[in-house]
Amino acid sequence: IREVLDEVGLPARAAAALPRELSGGMAQRAAVAIAIAPQPKIMIADEPETGLDPVLRRVVTELMLEVAKNNQVALMLITHNMETVKRISDHLVIIGEH
């Protein structure tokens, strides 16, 4: 657990914290840690930037990209934020009504 917390930049005390005790950014980092702990082949992030300020949005997406790369995990990001999509996408699928 400590290794995963270190990878996402969380202090050891975060493992014992209740969700309501974490800031928005810490909660997102905890979510990334939970996602990679079982060593998956794919990480699915559904609107991970929701409720975060612009700086923290970038920090969280960069963290997910770094963790995915370091762990050889595919990242599927579900978002409405096209700026993020343009910045981080290798492959893109757009689903919408026409």
Q: Looking at domain 2-88, which CATH architecture does it have? A: 3-Layer(aba) Sandwich (3.40)
**How many angstroms separate the Cα of 73 from the Cα of each of 23, 29, 55, 76, 83?**
26, 16, 24, 10, 22
Residue 86 to residue 72: CA distance in whole angstroms: 21
Q: What is the pTM of this model?
A: 0.79
| Cβ partners under 8 Å of residue 40, min gap 6 | 73
Give the Cα separation of 49 and 66 in Å (integer).
16
Q: What is the pLDDT of residues 17-66, one digit of tens each?
A: 998 999 888 999 999 999 999 999 999 999 999 888 999 899 999 999 99
> Which residue matches tokens 């050889």?
72
Cβ atoms < 10 Å from Cβ of 60: 23
Domain boundaries, the chain: 2-88
Residue 98 pLDDT greater than 80, yes or no: no
Over range 63-73, report the average pLDDT: 94
